[in-house]
Structure 1
Amino acid sequence: MPSDETVVQTAAEAAEGVILAHYKQSELTDFDVTVTFEEGVLDVDVYVNAPDDADEDEQAVADEAARTARDAVDELFEDDG
């Protein structure tokens, strides 16, 4: 079974990867990925603040990043099992 720290790190890296795949870091005004894993419950919160003229919808990117983070953790547990 993966450690809580591994779960959090895996989710955070996956979410950040999605954000940076959609935006150059220099384009972003701000972004935040908060991940907690307590008592077997994963909570992923993603905030993206991109310039108004950005091509990508920041809420859609944040949602995709959160889903990808959860999928990465699911995969982590499948690989471990």
Structure 2
Amino acid sequence: MPTDDEVVETAAQAAENVVFSRFDASEVEDLDVTVSFEDDLLEVDVYLNAPDARRDEERVADDAALAARSAVDDLFEE
């Protein structure tokens, strides 16, 4: 069973990986990934500001949050 810290770290890393796989670091003005895991409840919030990028920031932020949840699911399946 993973620790709470492992869950939070896994989720945050997965979210950041999605963002930086779609945007160059120079395009991202602000990225805030907030993850909490309490009482077996995972909450992931991704705020992304990349105003000069061609991709939809909101969609990428949503995809990043989904990837974070999926990574945690995989962690618990190990």
TM-score by length of 2: 0.97
CA-CA distance at 1:71 after TM superposition: 0.2
Moved over 4 A (4+): none
Q: Deviations over 1:16-47 (max 9, x none)?
A: 00000011111111011000000100000000
State the alpha-carbon separation in 2 of the partners of residues 71 and 5 from structure 1.
16
State the Cα RMSD in Å: 0.6
State the alpha-carbon separation in 1 of the partners of residues 24 and 33 from structure 2.
16
Extract unaligned runs of 5+ from structure 2. Answer: none
Question: What is the aligned partner in structure 2 of residue 49 from structure 1?
Answer: 49
Are 2:72 and 1:73 equivalent residues in the alignment? yes
CA-CA distance at 1:58 after TM superposition: 0.2
TM-score by length of 1: 0.94
Aligned residue-pair number:
78
CA-CA distance at 1:55 after TM superposition: 1.3
